[in-house]
Structure 1
Amino acid sequence: MAAEGKEPSILGFPCAPELGAAAHRKALAGHLRRCRDHAGIAPRQAARCLGTSTARITRIEKGQSALRPAEVGRLLDSYGATDPLERTRVDELLCEADRPEPWQDYANVAPPPVRPLLGMEPAARRIISYEPQLVPGWLQTAEYADTVIRAVYPTMPGRQVAERVALRTQRIGMLRRDENPPVLLAVMDSEVLCRKIGTPGVMYRQIEHLLALLEELPFRIRLQIAQLSAGAAGAIGHPVVHLRFHTPDYLPDMVYLEQYEGAQYREKPAETERYQAVLNNLCWSADPAGDTPGLLKKALAFWRSA
């Protein structure tokens, strides 16, 4: 970042592979925008520097377009951003930004609306999630995920279903990593525990899995159950994910709003703060996280006898 009157700096953003390519690309994109603003250069002038369109400069500055090292260098030269230390860090971050993203091994089945979330969540310091219908995706077993995906996409070939299941279930890996793992604060409706997904056995093993994860990762997963008594706080009606990053000066909060045929993202501070307040209210209204193991064990007993 840059104090008023000083040149923008990217030195405060770490070169950290575990944060993922998308986070490095987005941090660099914001740095390019700040350097352009500091130099007093309009987007159309930056576009002429590259022989491209102002629309592409906008995509570059939002992290929505690939960052080519030669182009980044030309832009920084035109902005007067020539400090050797800064340029070395830019080169390092460009290398990280060019690595594969978590969804790229599953590119033929990873839904495009979800890719920004999949790309950015490894860089999160804290994830708050609300799920009114299903177990949160990070916490699903393979057989539970398989049942859900087949229900939503009944004509999808079995091989693609298996790939999408693998994409979903590998997401738990970021919570298990040693370096800078996110903390997941998940809230799900109590109805999720009694909604039969597949067979009673599928539900029983899914709930066993939740209990095992809470025991394995007690400081990285907090799961709360929202009862009907949560009232209006639990009436959001669709999944919401709020991401807060390790480097908020470079990566602003991001909100993901899931829809049946797509998704919306919110990054303006006024909007992300509003959803933060909504989710905080829901967390206060839901049963305390300490009650969750007991509620899960009651659900186990129910499905054992079903």
Structure 2
Amino acid sequence: MAADRQAPSILGFSPHPEWGPAAHRKALAGHLRRCRENVGLGPRQVARCIHTSEATISRMETGRTSFKPAEVEQLLDVYQVRDPRERARIADLMREAAQPEAWQPYANAAPAALRPLLAMEPAARRIISYEPQLVPGWLQTEEYAETVIRAVHPTKPAREINERVALRMQRLQMLRRAESPPVLLAVMDSEVFRRPVGTPGVMYRQIKHLLALLEELPYQLHLQIASLAVGAAGAIGHPIVHLRFFTPEYLPDMVYLEQYEDALYREKPAESERYLAILNNLCGVANPAEQTRALLEQALSAWSSQVV
């Protein structure tokens, strides 16, 4: 019987403005779905109860729409959520979910395929990234980022290029914040430091930037370099990002798979665990993080001889 079930609670998910609105929206969306399932109603039945469409209920339960307080209040009545603490917490989460996304000031330059990652990464407890071709976007210098973006989008106007660069630069700030910053573990192929991006000076300054970040963020940033000797473990042709959140019971792991001018996202537990296993295997065969500084200094020395 539905009445005998343990009612789901959202009290374990507290508002954290630094996590961004998408995390609050996704947590609330999942909670509303669990509340509906707890009372044994289908989306169509619920839609009829509050005089809306089944599609609207679906969008609310997947976090693909904004929440209207009046509709949510009606849903809570239908779901028999009477605890004032639960309803107050839901109201708090709705307020956070209605805030602007971090990428919105750069909306004209933020690729649609990248927006879910940009929206959710501030809420991550840990990020594992593998990059076979380039320095990861969070860690790029402004001139390195501009060179990469211009190469991919040679016909874009300078204004949009500059906006894309600015968007990329602000992503690092989440590692510097005082409240619950994510930990970033970035694995790069050794060829990233041999492949020229721009002039030798651009490469030299990019590597110096990585060394400076390791000094500045010893607890939040961990870099590993995978040599060609890792073999099949490094034969991954595209970047992968795995996000794990502070509250996994409300926010499941998310995987970002970059494609050329597109991206795929995976959130089903079996899929995210499979990609996590791939990344963990790669971390295991890459050079240990303790050797990264020496390897970067070697790469820096190689480029210094070419800097005019």
Q: Distance in 1 between matches of 2:230 and 2:52?
A: 52
Superposed CA offset, 1:278-297 (max 9, x none): 00000001000011111111
1:251 is aligned to 251
Instruction: State the Cα deviation string for residues 188-246 of structure 1 (Å, max 9, x = none).
Output: 10000011001011110100000000010011000000100011110111000000000
Shift of 1:71: 1.3
Cα distance per residue 1:110-150 (max 9 Å; x no partner): 00111010000000000000000000010001110000000
Please give the secondary structure, in 2, of the residue aligned with 1:224. Answer: strand
Where does residue 89 of structure 1 map in the other structure? 89
What corresponds to 2:111 in structure 1? 111
Q: Quick check: 1:26 aligned with 2:52?
A: no
Identity of aligned residues (%): 69
CA shift at 1:261, angstroms?
A: 2.2
| 1:205-244 aligned within 5 A | 205-244=205-244
SS of the residue corresponding to residue 209 of structure 2 reads: helix
Q: Give 1:1-306 correspondences, 5 Å limit.
A: 5-306=5-306
Deviation >4 Å, runs of 4+: none
Which secondary structure does the structure 2 equivalent of 1:14 belong to?
Answer: coil
Amino acid at match of 1:198: G
Structure 2 runs not aligned, ≥5 long: none
Q: Which AA in structure 2 matches 1:91?
A: A
What count of residue pairs does the alignment treat as equivalent?
303
Deviations 1:141-172 (A, max 9, x none): 11100000000000000011000000011000
User: Normalised by the size of structure 2, how large is the TM-score?
Assistant: 0.97
> Could you report, residue by residue, the CA deviation over 1:70-112 in whole angstroms, capped at 9, with x for unpaired residues?
1111111111112100000001111111111110000111001
> Secondary structure in 2 aligned to 1:198?
coil
Structure 2 counterpart of 1:132, which letter? P
Structure 2 CA distance, aligned partners of 1:26 and 1:34?
Answer: 12
Measured against aligned partners, the alpha-carbon deviations of 1:170-192 in whole angstroms (never above 9, x if no partner) come to 00000000100000010010000
Give the alignment's TM-score, normalised by structure 1: 0.97
Q: Aligned-pair distance for 1:49?
A: 3.1
Distance in 2, Cα, partners of 1:53 & 1:272: 31
Unaligned runs of 5+ in 1: none
Between 1:287-296 and 1:49-58, the stretch displaced more is 49-58
CA deviation vs aligned residue, 1:5-39 (integer Å, no higher than 9, x gap): 21110000011101110000000000000000001
RMSD: 1.0
Query: How far 1:50 moved relative to its partner?
Result: 3.8
Cα deviation 1:31-53 (Å, max 9, x = unaligned): 00000000111011122234333
Inter-partner Cα distance in structure 2 for 1:263 and 1:78: 37
Q: Secondary structure at the match of 1:283?
A: helix
SS of 2:241 mapped into structure 1: strand
Counterpart secondary structure, 2:171: helix
